[in-house]
């Protein structure tokens, strides 16, 4: 059973493996059953199922809170 990570739009995710550009940090753009993230290095966007992404996360860095 994998850990169920809590993250929100604007948070930065550090993944276990590098993106092909060499970056490990991604910004959350959309959070639902699918998660849209953007690479901090090359700015490429991708959509992944939450279940798959939960297995790839090493840590969550909270973003600024929007009140």
In a domain, 3, yes or no: no
Residues 55-64: tens digit of each pLDDT = 999 999 998 7
What range defines the domain where residue 33 resides? 12-61
Label residue 4 by pLDDT band (50, 70, 90). confident
In a domain, 27, yes or no: yes
CA separation for the pair 52, 62 (Å, rounded) = 20
**pTM strictly above 0.95:** no
Label residue 67 by pLDDT band (50, 70, 90). very low
In a domain, 38, yes or no: yes
In a domain, 20, yes or no: yes
In a domain, 1, yes or no: no
Distance from chain centroid for Cα 61: 10
In 3D space, the residue among 20, 66, 16 whose CA is nearest the CA of residue 46 turns out to be 20
Task: Please give the sequence-ordered ranges of beta strands (E in DSSP) within 1-67, or none if there are none.
Answer: 12-15, 25-31, 34-39, 45-49, 57-61
Label residue 54 by pLDDT band (50, 70, 90). very high
pLDDT of residue 64: 76
Query: Considering its fold, how many domains does the chain have in total?
Result: 1
pLDDT of residue 1: 55
In a domain, 24, yes or no: yes
């Amino acid at each position: 059973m994998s850990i169920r990570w809590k993250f929100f739009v604007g948070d930065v995710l550090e993944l276990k493996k590098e993106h092909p550009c060499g970056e490990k940090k991604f910004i959350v753009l959309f959070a639902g059953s699918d998660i849209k993230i953007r690479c901090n290095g090359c700015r490429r966007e991708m959509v992944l199922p939450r279940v798959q992404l939960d297995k790839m996360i090493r840590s969550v860095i909270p973003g600024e809170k929007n009140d």
